[in-house]
């Protein structure tokens, strides 16, 4: 298309084959222009799931020798990205990028440079990464009987994802255990989220009010066996992305349970349901106590016991990087004096009762042995009379 009156030639829908030398003749004057064309192609049409690795193909064509190119990439946050060059020829460069995160969505720039001929070209391309705004693995702590809400925020609205996809939420208590499906969901091309509850044995709720594009479950009363991995997974065109929340539950107990008598001891136990990271540990301490009332667990210990002789409020803390994540309290009551007297009385009474029963048993045994001896002597006497009896006859 030639634009008048400036003699401009517009070449639309450029292709690599359009590269070459274009000559403009006007009277006796000739002006030559070399057209160097680049073509940048991104895999999957720029639509990815988180943790996928894009592939870029940069091709060039010109009328002469194809220059050696220097390629630099900048992500949507203007951070420099070093691609992995998998294949290189003078006309074609095949590169692999990093694993993508949901925050990588946006406009990227491929900067192409050459010294001879002098080239400094920026090529923009769009990347959309469907996924979660949560990290791949998140750890959440809770205490027994508390209420916990687990949520995963999809970024489909933020990146204007225009195609539908599905997903599900699974739970398993251990890595090697079978997964239980709690719910499944689908998101329409218009961005509408629909959820369906699947599990009937697992006690949880789907909150009616929650942020848009959010998968959320509520555990109204956490049990110790509710711990484990909760994995939210989405599926698009046979590909999958997921985000996990590991729920760690804490409980405390006492042995023996009940009031603590003066001079008596009690064992308090604090336990968490799963392994702790290396920078986390458990701590028992007595509120308003001394340093002697503090005990820390060793690395990787999930159970901490402390033997106490002082009543009061005892607290178990889960500490990670000097930050108290959760705490659970146990109030040790001091036994009243009358209980102590009752206990002493019961002990003394029990001892006296045992002594009396013992005496009765001994007396009974002695009487039984005497009756047995008397019966034995009578039997011997009868036997003697039978063996020595005499018959007297009258004459």
Q: What is the pLDDT of residues 339-366, one digit of tens each?
A: 455 455 566 666 677 776 777 778 777 7
Residues 336-341: what's their mean pLDDT? 54
**Mean pLDDT on 24-39:** 87
Do the Cβ atoms of 328 and 306 come closer than 8 Å?
no
pLDDT at 391 over 60: no
Residue 136: pLDDT over 80 = yes
Show the tokens assigned to 345. Answer: 């009385």
Could you say which of 1.10.4160.10, 3.30.70.330, 3.30.230.10, 2.60.40.10 is the CATH number of the domain covering 256-332? Answer: 2.60.40.10
Q: If you average pLDDT over residues 363-386, what whole number do you get? A: 73
Q: What is the mean pLDDT of the chain?
A: 87
Task: Give the pTM.
Answer: 0.76
Strand partners, 94: 57, 87
Q: Pick the range with the lowest mean pLDDT from 92-101, 137-146, 204-213, 342-351.
A: 342-351
pLDDT at 393 over 70: no
In the structure encoding, which two tokens stand for residue 272, read together?
């968490």
Closest listed residue to residue 113, CA positions, set 163, 47, 68: 68
Same fold, 2-130 and 137-248: yes
Mean pLDDT of all residues in 114-140: 92
By C-alpha distance, which of 295, 305, 320 is closest to 271? 305
Q: In 10 A of CB 297, how many CB atoms?
A: 21
Residue recorded with tokens 């146990």: 330
Digit-coded pLDDT (tens) for 261-309: 888 899 999 999 988 999 999 999 999 888 888 999 998 899 999 999 8
Q: Which residue has the tokens 């989405």?
A: 234
CATH number, span 2-130: 2.60.40.10
Helix residue ranges per DSSP H, 251-390: 337-387
| Domain spanning 137-248: CATH superfamily | Immunoglobulins (2.60.40.10)
Domain locations in the chain as residue ranges: 2-130, 137-248, 256-332
How high is the pLDDT of residue 381?
66
Asked if the model's pLDDT at residue 395 lies above 60, the reply is no
Q: Give the pLDDT score at 103.
A: 93
């Amino acid at each position: 298309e030639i634009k008048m009156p400036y003699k401009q030639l517009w070449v639309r829908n450029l292709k690599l084959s359009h590269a070459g030398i274009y000559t403009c003749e006007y009277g006796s004057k000739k002006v030559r222009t070399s057209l160097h064309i680049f073509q940048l192609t991104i895999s999957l049409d720029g639509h990815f799931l988180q943790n996928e690795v894009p592939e870029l193909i940069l091709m060039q064509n010109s009328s002469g020798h194809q220059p050696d190119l220097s390629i630099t990439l900048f992500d949507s946050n203007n951070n420099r990205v070093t691609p992995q060059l998998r294949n290189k020829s003078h006309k074609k460069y095949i590169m692999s990028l990093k694993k993508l995160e949901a925050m990588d969505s946006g406009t990227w720039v491929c900067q192409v440079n050459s010294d001879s001929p002098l080239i400094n070209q920026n090529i923009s391309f769009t990347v959309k990464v469907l996924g979660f705004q949560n990290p791949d693995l998140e750890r959440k702590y809770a205490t027994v009987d508390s209420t916990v809400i687990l949520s995963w925020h999809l970024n489909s609205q933020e990146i204007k994802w225009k195609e539908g996809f599905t997903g599900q939420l699974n739970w398993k208590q251990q890595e090697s255990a079978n997964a239980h499906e709690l719910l499944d969901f689908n998101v329409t091309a218009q961005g509408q989220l629909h959820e369906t509850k699947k599990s009937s044995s697992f006690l949880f709720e789907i909150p009616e009010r929650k942020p848009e594009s959010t998968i959320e479950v509520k555990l109204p009363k956490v049990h110790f066996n509710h711990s484990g991995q909760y994995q939210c997974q989405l599926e698009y065109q046979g590909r999958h992305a997921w985000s996990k929340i590991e729920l760690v539950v804490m409980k405390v107990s006492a042995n023996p349970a009940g009031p603590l008598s003066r001079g008596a001891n009690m064992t308090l136990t604090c336990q968490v349901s799963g392994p702790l990271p290396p920078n986390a540990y458990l701590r028992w301490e007595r509120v308003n106590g001394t340093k002697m009332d503090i005990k820390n667990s060793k690395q990787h210990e999930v159970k901490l016991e402390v033997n106490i002789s002082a009543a009061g409020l005892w607290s178990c803390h889960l500490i990670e990087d000097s930050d108290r994540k959760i705490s659970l309290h146990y109030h040790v009551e001091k036994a009243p004096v009358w209980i102590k007297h009752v206990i002493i009385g019961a002990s003394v009474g029990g001892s006296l009762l045992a002594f009396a029963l013992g005496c009765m048993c001994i007396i009974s045994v002695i009487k039984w042995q005497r009756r047995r001896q008397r019966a034995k002597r009578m039997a011997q006497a009868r036997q003697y009379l039978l063996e020595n009896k005499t018959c007297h006859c009258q004459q």
